[in-house]
Amino acid sequence: QVQLQESGPGLVKPSETLSLTCTVSGGSINNYHWSWIRQPPGKGLEYIASMYYSGSTNYNPSLKSRVAISVDTSNNQFYLKLNSVTAADTAVYYCARWNNGGDYWGQGTLVTVSS
């Protein structure tokens, strides 16, 4: 059974960079796409970006200028960096295996942007 776990700081200051890690267990990161999705409190889901294990990427145009995603196949992890954050970036951030849609999801991690 594939499992995903997000980790990273729960509090980030405005204008700084949000950095999250997703650790994949129970299966290999190879041969799949992997994605980040977020959900502001009380609101709907927003697709952030996805990446194939070998490096090709796909970004939400509205976030593309501030987002970087990467994969470490040796550690079975993938990463999200979102720079110049504001309060509007406060959300639960999910990672997911992306197989023409997300089949396996992490439990999510709340990131609050506040000084």
Partner 1 sequence: QTVVTQEPSLTVSPGGTVTLTCASSTGAVTSGYYPNWFQQIPGHAPRSLIYTISNKHSWTPARFSGSLLGGKAALTLSGVLPEDEADYYCLLYSGGVWVFGGGTKLTVL
Is 45 a binding residue for partner 1 by CB under 8 A? The answer is: yes
Is 52 a binding residue for partner 1 by CB under 8 A? The answer is: no
Q: Whose Cβ is closer to partner 1: residue 10's or residue 44's? A: 44
Q: Whose Cβ is closer to partner 1: residue 78's or residue 104's? A: 104
Is 7 a binding residue for partner 1 by CB under 8 A? The answer is: no
Considering the complex, what minimum distance in angstroms separates the CB of residue 23 from partner 1? 15
Q: Which residues pair with residue 67 across a beta bridge?
A: 82
Q: With 0-12 CB in 10 A as exposed, 13-18 as middle and 19+ as buried, what is 114?
A: exposed
Is 10 a binding residue for partner 1 by CB under 8 A? The answer is: no
Is 78 a binding residue for partner 1 by CB under 8 A? The answer is: no
- Dist CA 7 CA 52 (whole Å): 20
Considering the complex, what minimum distance in angstroms separates the CB of residue 66 from partner 1? 16
Q: Which residue in 61, 36, 40 sits closest to 49, CA to CA?
A: 36
Give the 3-state secondary structure of residue 77. strand
- Dist CA 67 CA 61 (whole Å): 10
Contact set with partner 1 (CB under 8 A): 35, 37, 44-47, 50, 58-62, 94, 99-108
